């Protein structure tokens, strides 16, 4: 039992509140299991007609996963890291197929694992505090928790742009791209939650009544550049296009990409290319688990966590150092299916 997740029933709604504010609610294995247990218990509970996911306190919804644990495990035999991914991905998938409406409140920092909690939800609420990102390429990881599914389905090439650069979006940008279904002022969230708890059959009506017109979405002004310069699924082509553009914007994005792991940038591009054609979300999670099980034990992830999170010298030494050094053969190895007895499987729910 963990106090890092608070679950309760209010009115006719189950509420899951992340409660690890010192880590901006970064997810642990126990937190993922606690959320899964609550969701499973509520599936056949007639007293629960909908579910809300929020955070108890602090400045963010969820900053991601327990990266230090993953790196420590990856430097050893990887068992603990694989267990985390296995349980977390089962939670992501359960939310995706959940039979009752789920409302996720992306108020504040929503990154990595927080994206995996919010994007499967039917209702995704952004506010003026929302800071949404998938920054994994900066630490040698990849945009997992369903990133290959969600990002590949965003307008144009915005998903590829977000996956490679780790760019942060505000609430209006999330709404404009469809990552959020509604934009509410943060001071209306308590009212929204109270109304939904009592009237879960009227969620659409409640959210529409409280939603406001978001500010102009800055990313829309860069859509032409993003769609044109990030058009290729080949990383070298994107870098060449940005170089040839020779503008202030392209120079800024080139500088950003120069700090990312070439290996995981190439992983992300292939992941999204494949993810766009996955038959269902479970198939996406099978693929991402195979990637994660390998990448977590590879040099770039352990080195990225050292450089950005542990020692914080911000000078990771990637290997391979260049995109050209990341061969198709290496990517094939990372993406290869796991043996059947090691592969990810969705949760089986007795009905």
Asked if 136 is an active-site residue, the reply is yes
Please choose, from the candidates 36, 17, 33, the residue with its C-alpha nearest in 3D space to the C-alpha of residue 25: 17
Structure tokens at 307: 């450089």
Output phi, psi for 233, to 5 deg: -90, 5
Asked if 65 is an active-site residue, the reply is yes
Q: Are 49 and 13 in contact (CB under 8 A)?
A: yes
Q: Determine the distance from the C-alpha atom of residue 153 to the mean position of all C-alpha atoms in its chain, rounded to a whole number.
A: 14
For residue 18, what are the β-bridge partners?
Answer: 5, 55
**Given 136, 173, 284, 288, which residue is catalytic?**
136
**Given 4, 144, 253, 300, which residue is catalytic?**
144
**Given 60, 74, 113, 275, which residue is catalytic?**
113
Q: How far apart are CA 95 and CA 303, in angstroms?
A: 32
Query: Strand 13-18 vs strand 5-10: parallel, antiparallel, or unpaired?
Result: antiparallel
Residues 6 or more apart in contact with residue 225 via CB below 8 angstroms:
245, 247, 249, 250
Q: Are 326 and 137 in contact (CB under 8 A)?
A: no
Please choose, from the candidates 119, 106, 202, the residue with its C-alpha nearest in 3D space to the C-alpha of residue 153: 119
Task: Give the angle subtended at the CA of 347 by the CAs of 344 and 351, to the nearest 5°.
Answer: 155
Residues 6 or more apart in contact with residue 131 via CB below 8 angstroms:
60, 108, 109, 110, 111, 168, 169, 170
Asked if 107 is an active-site residue, the reply is no
Q: Determine the distance from the C-alpha atom of residue 66 to the mean position of all C-alpha atoms in its chain, rounded to a whole number.
A: 13
Asked if 113 is an active-site residue, the reply is yes
Please choose, from the candidates 34, 26, 23, the residue with its C-alpha nearest in 3D space to the C-alpha of residue 65: 26
Q: Are 113 and 266 in contact (CB under 8 A)?
A: no
- The dihedral built from the CA positions of residue 36, 109, 49 and 94, taken in this order, carries a sign that is negative
Query: Strand 182-183 vs strand 123-126: parallel, antiparallel, or unpaired?
Result: parallel
What residues act catalytically? Answer: 65, 113, 136, 144
């Amino acid at each position: 039992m963990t106090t890092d997740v608070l679950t309760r029933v209010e009115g006719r709604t189950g509420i899951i509140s992340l409660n690890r504010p010192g880590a901006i609610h970064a997810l642990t294995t126990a937190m993922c299991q606690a959320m899964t247990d609550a969701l499973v218990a509520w599936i056949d509970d007639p007293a629960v007609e909908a579910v809300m996911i929020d955070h108890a306190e602090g400045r963010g919804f969820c900053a991601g996963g327990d990266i230090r644990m993953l790196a420590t495990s990856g430097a050893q035999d990887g068992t603990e890291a694989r267990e985390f991914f296995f349980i977390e991905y089962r939670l992501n998938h359960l939310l995706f197929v959940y039979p009752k409406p789920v409302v996720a409140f992306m108020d504040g920092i929503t990154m990595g694992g927080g994206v995996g909690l919010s994007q499967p939800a039917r209702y995704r609420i952004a506010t003026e505090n929302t800071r949404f990102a998938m920054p994994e390429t900066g630490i040698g990881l990849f945009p997992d928790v369903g990133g290959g599914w969600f990002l590949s389905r965003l307008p144009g090439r915005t998903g590829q742009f977000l996956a490679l650069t780790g760019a942060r979006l505000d609430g209006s940008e999330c709404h404009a791209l469809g990552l959020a279904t509604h934009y509410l002022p943060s001071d209306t969230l308590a009212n929204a939650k109270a109304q939904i708890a009592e009237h879960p059959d009227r969620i659409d009506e409640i959210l529409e009544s409280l939603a406001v017109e978001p500010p102009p979405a800055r990313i829309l002004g860069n859509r032409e550049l993003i769609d044109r310069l990030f058009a290729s699924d080949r990383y070298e082509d994107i870098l060449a296009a940005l170089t040839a553009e020779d503008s202030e914007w392209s120079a800024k994005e080139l500088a950003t990409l120069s700090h990312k792991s070439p290996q995981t940038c190439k992983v992300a591009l292939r992941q999204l290319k494949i993810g766009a054609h996955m038959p269902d979300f479970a198939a996406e999670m099978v693929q991402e688990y195979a990637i994660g099980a390998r990448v977590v034990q590879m040099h770039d992830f352990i080195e990225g966590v050292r450089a950005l999170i542990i020692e914080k010298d911000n000078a990771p030494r990637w290997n391979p150092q260049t995109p050209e050094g990341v061969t198709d053969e290496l990517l094939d190895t990372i993406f290869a299916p796991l043996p059947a007895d090691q592969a990810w499987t969705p949760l089986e729910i007795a009905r």
